[in-house]
Structure 1
Amino acid sequence: MHLKKSFAITFSAQLYSTVVTLIVTPLLISFVGAEGFGLIGFYLILQTWLQILDAGISGTLSRQVALSKHCSSSFQSFLTSFYKIYLIFAFIALVLLILGFTFATTFSLHWFKTNLQLELVSYCVLSMAITLSFKYLSGPLRSGLIGLECHILLGLFNFFYTTLRYPAGLGILYIYDSSLKAYFTYQAFIAVLEWCTLQALFYLKSRHAIKIATESSSPTQSSIKSLLLLSVQLSVLSILWVVVSQIDKLILSGALNLKQFGYYSLAVTVTGVMFTLNIPLNQVLMPRLTALMANKNNAKYVTILIKSVLFSILTFIPLGIFLVVFGTELVWAWTGNEEAAQEASRYISWLAIGNIAVIFMNFAFLLQFTLKNLKKHLIAYALYSAILIPLIFPVIDYYQGEGAAIFWMCHNIIFFILWGGYTFKKYLRNFVNLIFIPALITTSIFSTIVLTNLEYFVSLYSNQRGLTFLSLSFTGISCVGLLLLAALILRQPINSTIKKVSLITEK
């Protein structure tokens, strides 16, 4: 399937998910209140922490599918290993369920600062454990479909289940009088249904892949041992990434009362749109770059990677600056809650800028991962984590949510400049000086000038939510649109410059 078509389909599904989430979130707050939304925010954090138990294996499986799917014997050998590894996932999911049933009440009593009834909170935590167990089981199946490049199928799947999780979940709250019990029970049911669907899809698509695969003279071996060895470095990186990116939120969920944590979660939701929109690009790039590197097609590898970085610069730099300039207005237009807008705006600017650095850092990781050279990246990230993790505790203790947000921005920018810059310089000759820095500076200056000059235009409608939202939408889309149009007009000189960049691989 053509890369642009794959990305367009995946991006459309992710955009739908983002829009639905943004529409549903203020309605959720109106149904369950700030404390109830704090509980939902905690559930979202747990979903991210669940990646620790994945230990990078899903990413390794996706990569192995991309490498072995064209050879019949290699792919059949891989499937045998896949289902054996999947049994390990099933055992861990069972342990999660047992822990949920055993400790839900005790955990709820000692962790949350809330006026909600203990019995209610305990039930919600138990429902979270059930939901997370089945989401965990779904991970390898989804990764397998990504490796098979079933992007249209996954796009439709995501569209369908996003509709069930969010708009339909809102309907459950409406029918059952804003009952958090009903909401979390419904989410658990959807997680089970999602897992069953993925089981069927992966089975059917893997059978089809075997039928159309040819026999190769040099089949790819995929024993359990080789798969597990391949995933060791990635697993450590995955664990460290989850801890680094989520430990502040986990600590804040216990340090702040649920109402204040709800406002922080609101800011995380707003700025998290950047990560959500970046998912499709990462999903499409991972198997494609892996295959190109395996085939030693360095020129196409460089072209696809650099154009993807440029697309991210032209999209996420203006989006980040937009959130800095219009964060308060956006949350007010979004929720209609003045208090929520003021409280969330204390965090949005810092979180948004930090998120930009994280998105660019992901390209450095992709570079290392597809080149099968994660050792240095692992060492760098381990040192970074060792310095960062002990510091977050006193930061939150003394400066609470705002301190955590500022710290998020600072440490992500520093790490990207030091390690991301080194990675790009080492593996992509001429990329940093000829393309990355000029594009970054030009886009930042242009976006700042355009957005700050449109502040007056937005202020004309500051007393009307609907018009404010429309003016904000026009402002943001115009800025990104102008940048993408400029890139389209300048595509010939851009392509010429990309040809001056060469890939440096390790001997």
Structure 2
Amino acid sequence: MRKNIIANLIGKFFGILSNFLFIPLYIHFLGFEKYSIISFSLVIAGIMVILDAGLTATLSREFARTDIPREEKQRIFKTLESVYLIVIFICISTVFFLSSLIAEQWLNLKEYNLDQASFFFKIISFDIGFQLLFRFYMGGLLGLENQVKANVYQVGWGMVRNGFVVIAIMFSPTLETFFLWQTLSTVIFAILIKLSLEKTLKGRYSLALSIKIEKVVFKRVWGFAGGMLLIALVAALNTQMDKIAISKLLSLESLGYYTLAISLSQGILVLVNPIATAILPRFTAQYSADKQKEASSLFKKVSVYVAILIFSIMANLTFFGEKIVWIWTGDIKLAEHISEFIPIVAMAYAMLSLQVIPYYIAIANGYTKLNNLLGIISLIVTLPGYWLVTKYYGAIGAAGVFCGVQIFSTIVYLYFIDKKFIKSKTISRVYIKQIILPLVITLSIAFVFSLVHIFEEYGRIIVLVWIGISTLSTLIVGTLILVPIKELKGDLNFKSHHTLVNN
């Protein structure tokens, strides 16, 4: 499991690194309005995730189960892949044929006319469809605990798609070049990872694509997939409606500033996801084997470490947000525009990240009811809320609604997941050890470091080193305070022993 966590961390770390390295280059070579159109394309991709219909999560879960033979897994894969090919066709067709309507209704353009924007979305439609297909096959590899291999493909795809495109736009700084490169890269890697999954599952390479849906198989997995579909629908609306409201009511530049703050804050979620992804097969195996005590013990240990990590990053984003954006982009004016959003958005993503491990406990048990219930309740607030606050308070109002919903959802979600699956003796322990203490400790330490004024004239490297020291300090002190010494020594001794054995 440690190897899988490390592999996932490397894969997700590259995602964070990609943001820091490539987004400023996109802005530099293309200009901010063109980057804002790229930001809107990400909103469309986020909405189209709904069409995944929970099939990727279903495939990963079925592959991770220990009570299903390999032959049955092959039948499940063929059925789900067939359904997914239909999904991809619907996804591409929807964006392609609605491209003109999307450009006309949702973009306030200055540099481009509607026909040009429509053409961009036609290209994007294929990129979004094959992104979904790539992640579907990747979900299969993760479920089979081939997480090192899955992350090799993810890093390779990210490098070619998001990194090498910089070379292309250096010579041809147009959105046509940008989107065509990204689409071609995604298609190629979707083919490569398909071949790899076929080899892992069946022992041979195959690119055969055919529609064969076994009703018996589909009926058996549909209960879980249907619940995941509703989760995806609600999540897409909850996470994209703020950006949709901003793009409709405000300028594209406002959307660009807001999405840059989100790109930075999403680093919190990106750091937690690889840990959760590596642990999901273990949770699924333990619960399918009726080892609930072992699963609860693993959850309690991991959740404390994850909480320390989450709030350490959030605290430093809160107090050093403007300097981090300046280090990132080299543009102090851009940093000033974005910095007002960062404390609110970072808190929102910290709370959202706290839900990840409990969510994977629920998924391991095939339980989706709570996610759907909370999601629907939150929509009652967000659907009118985003439009009203964006109209009167601008993008900062949208950020406030997003943060408030995540705080409420996390508090409720932790309570019910613990009550149903973990069964802690006191729920107050969950709130104290996972929210209150790590939040207070990390904010206090980061605040002390922020009192030392490291000015821009010292240079970006010096300022970055100081922020790094602050972040490391919050991690170390938080761990020493919140993790019992006996438990910490046990983890360290296990790691040392594991290393010696492997050597």
Does 2:142 align with 1:175? no
CA contact (8 A) 1:240 1:382 kept: yes
Report the equivalent of 2:496.
Answer: none
Distance (whole Å) between structure 2 residues aligned to residue 152 and residue 495 of structure 1: 26
Per mean C-alpha deviation after superposition, the further-off stretch among 232-241 and 187-196 is 232-241
Report the equivalent of 1:153.
Answer: 149
Distance (whole Å) between structure 2 residues aligned to residue 309 and residue 82 of structure 1: 32
Does 2:381 align with 1:383? no
Report the equivalent of 2:277.
Answer: 283
Report the equivalent of 1:352.
Answer: 346
CA contact (8 A) 2:224 2:366 kept: no
Any residues of structure 2 matched to 1:369-380 within 5 Å, and which?
369-380=363-374
Report the equivalent of 1:42.
Answer: 40
CA 1:419/1:153 → structure 2, altered by over 3 Å: closer, same or farther? closer
Report the equivalent of 2:53.
Answer: 55
CA contact (8 A) 1:457 1:471 kept: no
Per mean C-alpha deviation after superposition, the further-off stretch among 234-243 and 424-433 is 424-433
Alignment partner of 2:391: what SS? Answer: helix
Does 2:169 align with 1:144? no
Per mean C-alpha deviation after superposition, the further-off stretch among 459-468 and 485-494 is 485-494
CA drift of 1:222 comes to 7.3
One of 443, 456, 473 as aligned partner of 1:448: 443
Report the equivalent of 2:211.
Answer: none
Does 2:144 align with 1:132? no
CA deviation map 1:18-59 (0-9, x unaligned): 112212111211111211111111122222222200111210
Any residues of structure 2 matched to 1:211-250 within 5 Å, and which?
223-250=217-244
CA drift of 1:489 comes to 6.8
One of 332, 335, 345 as aligned partner of 1:338: 332
Report the equivalent of 1:424.
Answer: 418
Distance (whole Å) between structure 2 residues aligned to residue 449 and residue 357 of structure 1: 18
Per mean C-alpha deviation after superposition, the further-off stretch among 409-418 and 456-465 is 456-465
Report the equivalent of 1:93.
Answer: 88
Report the equivalent of 1:203.
Answer: 198
One of 408, 416, 428 as aligned partner of 1:414: 408
CA 1:386/1:481 → structure 2, altered by over 3 Å: closer, same or farther? same
CA contact (8 A) 1:55 1:235 kept: yes
Report the equivalent of 2:97.
Answer: 102
Alignment partner of 1:272: what SS? Answer: helix
One of 473, 478, 482 as aligned partner of 2:473: 478
CA deviation map 1:300-322 (0-9, x unaligned): 21122122211211101111111
CA 1:185/1:32 → structure 2, altered by over 3 Å: closer, same or farther? same
Distance (whole Å) between structure 1 residues aligned to residue 369 and residue 182 of structure 2: 39
Report the equivalent of 2:494.
Answer: none
Distance (whole Å) between structure 2 residues aligned to residue 483 and residue 205 of structure 1: 41
Does 2:4 align with 1:9? no
CA drift of 1:357 comes to 1.2
CA contact (8 A) 2:61 2:284 kept: yes
Matched positions, count: 479
CA 1:373/1:154 → structure 2, altered by over 3 Å: closer, same or farther? closer
Aligned amino acid, residue 192 of structure 1: V
Does 2:264 align with 1:266? no
Aligned amino acid, residue 255 of structure 2: F
Distance (whole Å) between structure 2 residues aligned to residue 94 and residue 133 of structure 1: 8
Query: Which consecutive unaligned segments of at least 5 residues does structure 1 have?
Result: 210-220, 497-507
Report the equivalent of 2:108.
Answer: 113
Report the equivalent of 1:194.
Answer: 189
Which runs of 4 or more aligned residues in structure 1 lie more than 4 Å from their structure 2 counterparts after TM superposition?
460-463, 485-489, 493-496
CA contact (8 A) 1:286 1:366 kept: yes
Report the equivalent of 2:288.
Answer: 294
Q: What is the root-mean-square deviation of aligned Cα atoms in Å?
A: 2.4
CA deviation map 1:427-462 (0-9, x unaligned): 322263345414533322221222111124352455
CA contact (8 A) 2:257 2:337 kept: yes
CA contact (8 A) 2:234 2:372 kept: no
CA drift of 1:275 comes to 1.5
CA deviation map 1:126-150 (0-9, x unaligned): 1111101111222321111111010
CA drift of 1:486 comes to 5.4
Aligned amino acid, residue 412 of structure 2: L
CA contact (8 A) 2:312 2:474 kept: yes
Aligned amino acid, residue 6 of structure 2: A
Per mean C-alpha deviation after superposition, the further-off stretch among 137-146 and 464-473 is 464-473
CA 1:489/1:413 → structure 2, altered by over 3 Å: closer, same or farther? closer
Aligned amino acid, residue 440 of structure 2: I
CA deviation map 1:86-145 (0-9, x unaligned): 222222322333334433234213321021222432222111111011112223211111
CA contact (8 A) 1:78 1:223 kept: no
CA contact (8 A) 2:304 2:483 kept: no
Alignment partner of 1:223: what SS? Answer: helix
Per mean C-alpha deviation after superposition, the further-off stretch among 119-128 and 354-363 is 119-128
CA drift of 1:362 comes to 2.6
Does 2:490 align with 1:492? no
Per mean C-alpha deviation after superposition, the further-off stretch among 154-163 and 80-89 is 80-89
Does 2:358 align with 1:364? yes
Aligned amino acid, residue 29 of structure 2: F
Distance (whole Å) between structure 1 residues aligned to residue 322 and residue 370 of structure 2: 41
CA drift of 1:202 comes to 0.7
CA contact (8 A) 1:323 1:348 kept: yes
CA contact (8 A) 2:246 2:254 kept: no
Aligned amino acid, residue 121 of structure 1: A
Does 2:320 align with 1:326? yes
CA contact (8 A) 1:334 1:469 kept: no
Does 2:78 align with 1:78? no
CA contact (8 A) 1:10 1:280 kept: yes
CA drift of 1:371 comes to 2.6
CA contact (8 A) 1:49 1:243 kept: yes
Distance (whole Å) between structure 1 residues aligned to residue 169 and residue 150 of structure 2: 28
Distance (whole Å) between structure 1 residues aligned to residue 188 and residue 219 of structure 2: 32
CA drift of 1:412 comes to 1.1
Distance (whole Å) between structure 1 residues aligned to residue 468 and residue 169 of structure 2: 29
Report the equivalent of 2:248.
Answer: 254
Aligned amino acid, residue 395 of structure 2: G
Query: Which consecutive unaligned segments of at least 5 residues does structure 2 have?
Result: 205-214, 492-503
Aligned amino acid, residue 450 of structure 1: I
Aligned amino acid, residue 448 of structure 2: N
Aligned amino acid, residue 444 of structure 1: L
Aligned amino acid, residue 392 of structure 2: Y
Distance (whole Å) between structure 1 residues aligned to residue 37 and residue 139 of structure 2: 29
CA drift of 1:469 comes to 2.3
